[in-house]
Structure 1
């Protein structure tokens, strides 16, 4: 029996429990620790893990789940972005002690965060100011990371650093450390307009002791492994979040219109629920949400085509490029329609829908924040340049 089969029976119950107070948590700034633990304890954080009896969920199944989870609570879904990326990386490890160690931790419900991005240098660069310095018997890790989404909710943090000294000088190290290791400080200081309480903020590394057992991999930034990166997965993940939010917008738009009794004296219908203008707006929101869902799941199948051979040790760069193109196309489309749909929700409810207590603005704020992870215009330019001039897509984590 696969992991997917084991956990899917409780899916609706788990998602309903997460959704129950999601809007209230966001309004009050409450951290969803209990909801993350619920996913961990019910096996969903191990959804994609290979087990002894067969493969776990592939990218299409995972993204279908992520859309449903984001519909229930996009904050909780966003927290697990780095976690599911880490699980995918472990799936590619050959059989042996390293793989066995991390598989056991994932299966036990441990959650993995990230410390990758930095405030200095260009976003997407594989050069890091955070340094792993070789010392007798191991290394010392020093630096500061930002946008450490999910780390405040995690048991482990995955850190990227440039190696200084020793046999791996100049390479990029991926290090996995328990969050309570001496020298690690995690501050949840993200103050964005949306996607609050995602555990996003600063991770400081002050001469953290690192042993060989903590190092997941050393990578040459110019190697095939670096070029065949997980950008398509990580970027499509964000579009799954927006899609889940759009489905929630549809839910709220439907409930809002059904609940209205007052309308304007000059409205085309006596009751809002029969007003063709408002019904058309709800229909457009619903269409945007479901077309977004279809687009994400179609791109997820393309991502799986690249990931499947990689899990067997065969990197196919052309398949990763295909996946990058698919994910970029989805972003360019969904970012545009998503923001409009979230704004159109207020046309359904009228002036009263702007009440802070209703908290309907959270949808637009959350979508707007997610879209800002990388510029939509740059993605569109890269696609156009590829089509017109055969210019390769940028070889970084945003593609």
Structure 2
């Protein structure tokens, strides 16, 4: 039982509060609009989350983590996204690497990633990429070459990574390369140091503070001890859809923004000082059409969260089925659930953000409140892996049983 008849939307979940994140998340939310206006990169806020173990949520307590389930990770990540979607998004690559490492923790490369994570550090990507991809081609990685340097007694390499989301804030970077001594393809872990640079040159109209600019690596030194063999090839029985986490995580971020819109809508209506002259009430909070619109925002935001929860639950079932006879079917189901959630949420969430402006009208269009960031952030996140191709696949599957692509970018 509650001591009030008002059961409103809450920024922070009971789980985040239990884990000790509530105060930091609330602080991030309170300062989000100012960061947006000032283009202030959230180094301090991300450092606070790292120190509390947000990046290590999935590790056992005795390894420096919180022992959270995959579903619980998404609960806390959505709270962070509701506070500031830039910050939640900046952790995505790291959190995925942790998931990959947990499945292969006996491999020395993945063990290294988990060790760094347990020390409350985060890892980013140093794959050398180009943003020019031929039509119809699968996006690929241009392998960095690591040359052995006798003087430095280390491998040395250079390269750039575009769209290096989160790299501004990361402590280490991973990649795949060809090493010069034997010509083998290897994996490596590079900790931040001389030669590592990041340009805040991301030009997106939303998600401006994710650190999604160009990461530059110039004659960086990688110790031989941090160069590892690549992962063993996947078995023929393994489910080929290994990157559903990426899409569910982004959709989960949008669900967090929808929650924030619902929270901001209450404050927008309460803060309006006057109603339209043709309204029916003296104050906007008593205006029937505005009360109805507030209710619509709340209901749609709740529906978006429920839709995201369905995809998260399917992903949890796929995780639970790993290396079992049911892995293929569970992973395929999770991939379809992720696609279905994206199609619905990418369509509804921008409309919810539109309604927030309708609710406040001219009183909320000032850049001071930065409320336009919600629509912009939703659209930029949604632009990852356009929903049009998801819609087509869902239709094709219903008609002919066509299976999803297996690449990370679907």
TM band (smaller chain): 0.7 to 0.9
TM-aligned CA distance change 1:326 to 1:29, over 3 Å: same
TM-aligned CA distance change 1:84 to 1:347, over 3 Å: same
The alpha carbon displacement at 1:98 in A equals 4.7
Post-superposition Cα deviations, 1:214-255, rounded to whole Å, max 9, x if no partner, equal: 345525898769963542111111111111111111111111
Post-superposition Cα deviations, 1:143-165, rounded to whole Å, max 9, x if no partner, equal: 32111111110101223457899
The answer to whether 1:67 aligns with 2:83 is: no
1:379 to 390, 404, 409: 390
Pairwise CA RMSD: 3.2
Q: In the aligned structure 1, how far is the partner of 2:155 from the partner of 2:240?
A: 27
Q: Which residues of 2 match residues 1-399 of structure 1 at below 5 A?
A: 8-52=18-62, 56-95=67-106, 98-116=109-127, 118-121=130-133, 125=138, 127-132=140-145, 141-161=157-177, 166=182, 168=184, 174-180=187-193, 182-206=194-218, 208-215=220-227, 218=230, 228-310=240-322, 316-399=327-410
Aligned length: 391
* Structure 2 residue matching 1:357: 3-state secondary structure: coil
* Structure 1 residue matching 2:217: 3-state secondary structure: strand
TM-score, structure 1 length as denominator? 0.87
TM-aligned CA distance change 1:220 to 1:398, over 3 Å: farther
Contact 2:74 2:252 (8 Å CA) reproduced: yes
The alpha carbon displacement at 1:303 in A equals 1.0
* Structure 1 residue matching 2:314: 3-state secondary structure: helix
Q: Could you tell me which residue of structure 1 aligns to residue 10 of structure 2?
A: none
TM-score, structure 2 length as denominator? 0.85
Post-superposition Cα deviations, 1:306-333, rounded to whole Å, max 9, x if no partner, equal: 22343x6989333222211111111110
Contact 1:134 1:140 (8 Å CA) reproduced: yes
* Structure 2 residue matching 1:265: 3-state secondary structure: coil
Q: In the aligned structure 2, how far is the partner of 1:66 from the partner of 1:376?
A: 22
TM-aligned CA distance change 1:128 to 1:222, over 3 Å: farther
TM-aligned CA distance change 1:100 to 1:398, over 3 Å: closer
Deviation larger for 234-243 or 273-282: 273-282
TM-aligned CA distance change 1:49 to 1:224, over 3 Å: farther
Structure 1 unaligned runs (5+)?
A: none
* Structure 2 residue matching 1:40: 3-state secondary structure: helix
Deviation larger for 6-15 or 145-154: 6-15
The alpha carbon displacement at 1:290 in A equals 1.3
Contact 2:257 2:378 (8 Å CA) reproduced: yes
Q: In the aligned structure 1, how far is the partner of 2:324 from the partner of 2:49?
A: 30
Q: In the aligned structure 2, how far is the partner of 1:309 from the partner of 1:166?
A: 38
* Structure 2 residue matching 1:196: 3-state secondary structure: coil
Structure 2 unaligned runs (5+)?
A: 1-13
Q: In the aligned structure 2, how far is the partner of 1:75 from the partner of 1:342?
A: 16
The alpha carbon displacement at 1:5 in A equals 9.0
The alpha carbon displacement at 1:371 in A equals 0.8
TM-aligned CA distance change 1:383 to 1:398, over 3 Å: farther
Post-superposition Cα deviations, 1:156-185, rounded to whole Å, max 9, x if no partner, equal: 12234578994646xxx54321122x5433
TM-aligned CA distance change 1:372 to 1:341, over 3 Å: same
